[in-house]
Chain A
Amino acid sequence: MTKTIRVATDVGGTFTDLLVLESDDANGTSIVRSAKADTTPGGYEEGVFDVMAKGGVAADAVDFLAHGTTVVINALTERTGVKVGLITTQGFRDTLEIARGNRPDFFNLHYQKPEPFVRRSLRRELPGRMDYHGREMQPLDLSPLPDIVADFRAEGVEAVAVCFIHAYANPAHEQAALAELERLWPEVSAISSHQITREWREYERTSTAVLSAYVQPVAERYLQRLDAGLVERDFGGGLYIMQSNCGVDSVDTVSRIPITMVESGPASGVWGAAELGRLIGEPNVLALDIGGTTAKCSLIEDARVRIKTDYWIGRSRATAGYPIMVPVVDLVEIGNGGGSIAWVDDFGKLRVGPRSAGAMPGPAAYGRGGTEATTTDANLWLGRINRDYFCGGAVEADMDAVQKAIEAVGARLGVDADEAARGIVRIANNNMVNALKLVSVNRGFDPRDFTLIAFGGGGAMHAVALAQELGVTKVVVPADASVFSAWGMMMSDLRRDDVVTLLVDLDADHAEAIEAAFAETETRARDRFASEGVDAGAVRLSRFGRFRYQNQEHTTEVPLGADPVTAERVAASEAAFHETYEREYTYRLDAPVEMVGLHVVATVDIGKLSMTARQATGRGLEDARKGTRRVDYALEGIREAAIYDGERLEPGMAFDGPAIVEDSGTTVVVHPGNHAEMDGYGNIRIHIRN
């Protein structure tokens, strides 16, 4: 029997997860295993090797290893990157510090603007200027560079970022400066803005180049250690690194520009939802990932994930954050997870999150000294989570601590513990409903046209309530929901998103210029793959245009067909824009349309898993039934719910709510009136009769 072994490892804040899929090449059936090990800060690769050992994975037998890591986002948020020097256009060294001047927390007169990552003395300028067409206005003068390099060396700079005005339109000056820099200082880590993004807005591009330089040595060293450790263990398969754009990429490519990993964790879950939707014939999906501290959601339309390039790290209602102009899956993340703390403000209002009990002390139920009620505690109190099978039986739920914590909330609200617990769950649900609305309703989509795919440790517990609130009629809880992100990683393609600013009127006269720009970008994408030994025929390309009405600023992205842009076909693109625009904003204008940018997605299938439906063995539903217990459904009252063992459910088994499905990693709450069914891939499909 020939087998293919695919492994995904995902380094999270607390745990490093492993998912192994061993499939039989002859009949397509596969065996799934998962494992968890502690994350090992300081040397994350150790946690990866640990979890592989724990999961019984021999590196030399693995064909495909997908890897996701938080090394980049941690380096940024913990400020553990390297000292960066910036080289920029004369007159613009302060761009990084001036930023955009905004103050989101606007009634707070003690607001503190985020500190720039490079202090002024390490921000240096070179004469030389392009205009917005990419035409040279003033030649680049490299003569100050040796002095700048000498200063940077003396100051202990480890990485250099280069960003020039209008380099998105013409990168020649950046290329020349980078070449000279590498000649003068070959050992320094250097990056220029056009290598990461070809979009306009100098502050965002400068910030992107700087943050990329800041994490580059750290991430590169990490990836090298991981790679070397795998080689030591005789790993001979393909190693791929998860990216923020829902694709994976090679270690070499990611090592050069690691900033693209910044949101890779959430991206793999969203991608998993897109792939699962495709597999089960549900192309329109709302993906919901509820973890310990946050909930993340994203919308997938027609099996396509939405990719944006206006990502900001650390941005909130309280602070401006820092922009990173790389392709990142469009998602909304809120501070609402299983560990989110419920509290009552000075005026009697109940809130949940964003503060979290974290891993230590964790929810009160962990019995590690947590005294504040969390969403998990409320779910336990209401009987949704089995108090005798907490964390898959690994932890004995400290119900006294839960009671005390919830009663404390109730006392402040003037209600009993039951009412307080219901309130906590309802407020948490409302926070998540609002987040789901942000990705759907706010963007002109009707959630009723979507299927909710819920995963992460807490997704299945809240999914039905959220769906009912939004009018969604179909909920899917995937198999191994708690490690679903790792599955998504395994299903990823090699993927690169190129976004290029191109400002032209969208009309027949400019069709040629638009086609030329697409062709150039596509050629660049193909050439890059070719240089890495990827066959040109294997590269799939898709095109998107970013359009707006003349004089607007923000653009609407519209998918374009694969056919070349011609004078005749421009009208169709324009019509598609009007239609998309009207759906999102309720009106259309009889105004000229501009193209502002193009977006090319290049993907290569790297032999991802193809799933085969399992057959039922003929066991009866009773086999999976563990009994009943009283569950408080908040809005639907207290009901006697049937309890099922998720691991014993088989394809085709069906039952009605009220019910609870439990396995070691997940609790699925099926509300009264729901109909649930297990499909051939181990997913629980819940139908809501609204």
Chain B
Amino acid sequence: MTAMTNDPITLEIIQNSLQSAADEMFAAMKKTAMSSIIYEVLDMGTGITDAKGEIACSGAGIPAFVGVLDKAVTVIVEKFCEPGAVEPGDVFVTNDPYYGGVTHLNDIVVVMPVFAEDRIIAWTANIAHNSDVGGMAPGSLTGEATEIFQEGLRLPAVKMIARGEPIQPVLEIIKVNSRMPDVLEGDVWAAIASVRIGTARLAEIAEKYGAATFEQAMTSFMDYGERVSRAALKTLPKGTFTLAEEQDDGQVFNVTITIADDEFLVDLRDNPDQATNPVNTSRDGVMVAAQMIFKSLTDPYSPCNAGSFRPIRLLTREGSVFHAKEPAPIGFYYEIDLRVYDVMWRCLAQHMPERLAAGHFASVCGTFIGGIHPDTGRQYTIIEPQLGGWGGREGMDGNTAMFCGFHGETFNCPAEVNEARNGLYVDQMALNVEPGGEGEFTGGRGIVMDYRVRADDGFLTMGYTRSKYPAWPLDGGNEGSPNYVDFIPREGERQRLAFVSGLKTRRDDVIRVVTGNGGGFGDPKKRDPARVRRDVRNGLISAERAQEVYGVTIE
């Protein structure tokens, strides 16, 4: 069957099948990965693009990975454009933001073509955070890096499997560069399995309905995405909105957003030059942040594909922190992308509080803890984001203890699993009851978690933003509370940390992770006294503070 059908039901059925293929790829990766950051944190995503590399559909754990894969595919499509350069069964790999990787070197993107009727009709792709890809520090992420070369092995969009046969030298190079070679190998194979499953599924669909119909289904799906976005864009308040915000490190970030009937223009040109430390991002990374806020503002529920993002236009300045040039280090790119996301959110929230809540703790709070497990003698490395408080909004208190806006279907690590797998004890995992985030509708609570290290010669690396300037409030609420680590060594001085690389840890040192409460919404004096009394009863706020902030007397 090769004739193209335009039957809307058939197209709809193919589109549904695309989603189930992306979900299937996601399930396969999640279940077979070896790094907890993949299988628990779900720092991974899967996607299907058309032949040109435009994203048609994603199976994602986190929104920040929805719009990433098309960029990698596009680079591969351009690089392997000679006839015969791409063959059935080939698998490509990239992890370099200067070669379509978007994020940082830990995130390995695996891409596979889908052939039907002797042509490429689609690509399947997978991205996941790998625990260690070499570089100057364990876990590959370090604040000390001044060039990308120090952040691990660079894979500049190369072929890894040819016609189904692994190119052993490439796989060996990848493996030998990691401090955790077996884990890396397992995770890369999990990614390969994932794209293979997706490719097989798409090929079946194309065989059944014909390549032309399959392609038509993809095109019409993206057009549908565009129509949904454009319709929603029309309902947004129009105008030019700007915000300048000082960051924890003293830099000022500027954003200007112009919303018109047919365009969502984000101008980030007026921003600092790229840094010598790894707090830069690729332009692609900033685009993902813009896509996320746009999608949330327009239609968070409908399918998300290249069409959904067509109304976005992004202006950046090459050589700036938001459009880094090779060889700038980019390890902590995610905090920078998150800062941009948060700045855009804040810029618009004041003008559309019914659509956007007050600020949340807004940091991945990436925490890296490693050492030797005293029970097994094996090296362990924890790489995890943290939960924190979300902002209040009209009519509703903010959510408590959720991952930040860049995450989604991400799961924290249970203490029981953590203690078995890693050489430490979790002494507490509790809500953060520090002041902050009060309002008519309060910010949600962050958390306090104590890791007690069980053996000497371990390390801690972490980088949290919103450590100096906490989550911002809206409409007269109070600001939230900061993100930080309280390092409590058995001997020596307690330290409050926002960024640290390779801090040595010893037995019985306590690493206390504290994440912020979200920003409050509305004047605290307007809060329903029944809610205040409930908060006091639940030990979230003292009676004295209830009196002081809310003016509610507790009997």
Contacts and interface: CB of A to CB of B under 8 A. Distances in A.
A106 B420 contact: no
Contacts of B409: 102-104, 106
A665 B380 CA distance: 60
B429 A92 contact: yes
Given A430-B16, A554-B39, A113 B300 contact: no
A438 B249 CA distance: 48
B401 A101 contact: yes
A587 B192 contact: yes
B314 to A, nearest CB: 19
Contacts of A166: 416, 419
Given A98-B431, A103-B403, A427-B9, A586 B196 contact: yes
B301 A108 contact: yes
Interface in A144-199: 165-166, 168
A202 B393 contact: no
Interface residues of A, number: 67
Interface stretch (B26-34, B522-530, B542-550): B26-34
A36 interface: no
Interface string B414-426: 1111011000011
Contacts of A93: 430
B34 to A, nearest CB: 4
Interface string B285-306: 0000000100110001100100
B17 A434 contact: yes
B193 A587 contact: yes
Interface string A574-598: 0000000000111101010000000
Contact of B419 (A91, A131, A584): A131
A91 B450 contact: yes
Given A110-B357, A201-B416, A423-B9, A101 B224 contact: no
B119 to A, nearest CB: 25
Nearest to B414: A201
Interface in B510-546: 534, 537-540
Interface stretch (B103-111, B147-155, B181-189, B458-466): B181-189
A103, A106, A119, A168: most-surrounded residue (chain B CB, <10 A): A106
Given A107-B300, A347-B227, A552-B186, A586 B197 contact: yes
Contacts of A165: 415-416
B420 A503 contact: yes
A551 B183 contact: yes
B300 A121 contact: no
A294 interface: no
B16 A551 contact: no
B9 A113 contact: no
Contacts of A90: 428
B9, B62, B420, B538: most-surrounded residue (chain A CB, <10 A): B9
Given A165-B416, A554-B31, A589-B189, A427 B300 contact: no
Contacts of A101: 387, 401-403, 410-412
A563 interface: no
Interface string A493-523: 0000000000100000000000000000000
B286 to A, nearest CB: 18
B228 interface: yes
Nearest to A426: B9
B20 interface: yes
A92 B420 contact: no
Given A106-B62, A108-B300, A437-B20, A120 B408 contact: no
Interface in A88-139: 90-95, 97-113, 119-121, 131-132, 137
A6 to B, nearest CB: 40
Contact of A203 (B63, B183, B224, B414): B414
A201, A427, A434, A551: most-surrounded residue (chain B CB, <10 A): A551
Contacts of A570: none
A20 to B, nearest CB: 41
A529 interface: no
A112 B392 CA distance: 11
Given A107-B292, A585-B193, A586-B196, A97 B400 contact: yes
B244 interface: no
Given A98-B400, A106-B62, A132-B416, A549 B193 contact: no
Contacts of B355: 109
Contacts of B245: none
B356 A109 contact: yes
A637 interface: no
A340 interface: no
B8 A348 contact: yes
Q: What 6 A-B pairs come out closest when comparing CB atoms?
A: A106-B408, A91-B428, A107-B300, A120-B538, A101-B387, A551-B34
27 contacts: A91-B428, A91-B430, A97-B401, A97-B431, A100-B411, A101-B410, A102-B403, A103-B402, A103-B409, A103-B410, A107-B301, A109-B296, A110-B357, A121-B538, A168-B416, A201-B414, A346-B231, A347-B231, A349-B224, A427-B9, A430-B17, A551-B182, A553-B40, A585-B28, A586-B196, A587-B192, A591-B182
Given A120-B540, A346-B231, A350-B9, 16 more contacts: A90-B428, A91-B428, A91-B429, A97-B401, A98-B412, A101-B412, A102-B408, A110-B393, A111-B399, A111-B402, A121-B538, A426-B9, A426-B13, A503-B420, A551-B182, A553-B36
